Amino acid sequence: MALNETYEQEIKVPVRLVNVPKNVVLTTEMEDTVRVTVRDKGFTLATYMYGDMIQPVSVNFSVYANRQTGYGYVPASDLLKMLSQRFMAQSKIIQVKPDRLDFYFNYGVSKQLPVRMAGYVVPGKSYYLARTRFWPDQITVYASKRVLDSLRFVKTVPINIVNFGDTVIQTVALEKIKGVKMVPDRVRIGLYPDIMTEESIDVPVGSINMPEGKVLRTFPSRVKVNFIVGASMFRNITADQFQVVVDYNELME
């Protein structure tokens, strides 16, 4: 008795893009499933849900692809017509999600782009992020020439890593861009923290704006400069990277 009543049920229908030429690269894939809300008797709905009656809908590439724009779409009316052929005549389609299908493609035009990190990365107290590394550090991007010309790099999806003191290696996805295919679409990222240390170095005192014929002598002639630096960088710090000066014009005031 229950199955003889009328119900509404969402049925998933597979969708396939067919007859794609071998020289075409799909830069954004078409949806592979459409969710169709159908009204019918319980017996019929059970057949749709648990049987093999619903066959995939095939979308012919050549019919819906615009070769000039590199964009193709299946209008809602065409999609509804294709779906109606998969259901019995008495079944009523109430809603289709998505109500239209689209896809992007090109003919192999590509570009190598560097990878950049996006997100919030903060090492633990007394540490700083000394280095970031990607594997690979460049990826191949397929898109229309107009889109490729506008891209300078690709970003990871936002990551959030805080309060770490050891090297972190993770696999992260790249942020999707409509009409763009990325190969690969995931990269490994390495975050290398370094502990901060306070050091000092003796720096000679120089002068600026000294009139010709005058010489500045200071006592002492060198001063100690205190600074904070990553422990791994300390050996590369030298006195000539700092400048301590006395301004003659300020002395005259």
1 falls within a domain: no
Whether pLDDT at 12 is above 90 = yes
Do the domain assignments include residue 82?
Answer: yes
User: How confident is the model over 165-178, as a mean pLDDT?
Assistant: 94
Q: Is residue 31 part of a domain?
A: yes
- Does residue 101 share a domain with residue 17? yes
List pLDDT tens digits, range 60-111. 999 999 988 899 999 999 999 999 999 998 999 999 999 889 999 999 889 9
Task: Give me the pLDDT at residue 232, please.
Answer: 82
Are 144 and 228 part of one and the same domain?
A: no
Which of 172, 195, 218 is the last residue in one of the domains? 195
- The residue out of 106, 121, 138 marking a domain boundary is 106
118 and 166: one domain?
Answer: yes
In this structure, the answer to whether residues 179 and 134 fall within a common structural domain is yes
- Write down the pLDDT at residue 93: 92
Over residues 174-200, the pLDDT tens digits come to: 999 999 999 999 999 999 999 988 899
Q: Phi/psi zone of residue 238: left (φ > 0), alpha (ψ -120 to 50 degrees), beta? A: beta
- Residue 146, domain CATH: 2.170.120.40
Structural domain for 50, as ranges? 6-106
Residue that is last in its domain, among 169, 195, 221: 195
Average pLDDT over the chain reads 92
Look at residue 233 in the predicted model and tell me its pLDDT: 84
pLDDT of residue 230: 87
Residue-level pLDDT at 9: 92
What percent of the chain has a predicted confidence (pLDDT) above 70? 100
Check residue 5 and give its pLDDT: 87
